[in-house]
Amino acid sequence: MQDIGMDAFLDAKLHDIPNTVYGTSTVLGSLGVRYLTVHAAGGEAMLRAAVDGLSEGANEANLPAPMTLAVTVLTSEPSASPDLLNERVAVAVAAGCPGVVCAATDLPVIKGAAPDIITVVPGIRPTGVPIHDQGRVATPGDAIQSGADILVIGRAITAANDPAAAAEAIAAEVAHAI
């Protein structure tokens, strides 16, 4: 992926003791992972270990600065309370995470708590596409209009009968929403 100019987004959702997360993140940073997900439920020390390790690994390998993304609440969960979202965003910000992963339905709370944080939004389903195991979904246009910075789109494209046409339709919807 890197050889053809693509960034590596590793959705590892790390969640372990800070020392283990630090070591893992350092190795991943040295390998060129550009985006790494870590569970915000792990707390500030664990998130800080991920941020530091990922950055140090990339720096030692002379690679561009990577981004640690704190996963707030999985989109497979049917709901996320504002109190829990505020708590997880506060932990992410305190630990130095530049971004979070959250459902589109959570964006008002997330952006209210941390207006400048980068939001990565999975659970994207165009109208008429099955929601599968997702509990909180949004169309691409709705997610963009709600303030999403980056959309994670998987099965809506990979499971489509015509993946190229599905991707083109999503891109058109996003362009219209912008």
Contacts 24+ apart (CB under 8 A), 174-177: 174/140, 174/141, 174/144, 176/141, 177/140, 177/141, 177/142, 177/144, 177/145
Q: Is 13 a catalytic residue?
A: yes
Calculate ∠ Cα 20-134-15, nearest 5°. 5
DSSP label of 172? H
Both tokens of 134, joined, read 């997702």
End-to-end CA distance of the chain: 28
| C-alpha–C-alpha distance, residues 135 and 99, integer Å | 22
Given the residues 13, 23, 135, 160, select the one marked as catalytic.
Answer: 13
| C-alpha–C-alpha distance, residues 61 and 29, integer Å | 8
Q: What is the largest CA-CA distance in the chain?
A: 46
Residue entry with tokens 């959250």: 102
Spacing of C-alpha 100 from chain mean position: 6
Residues marked active site are found at: 13
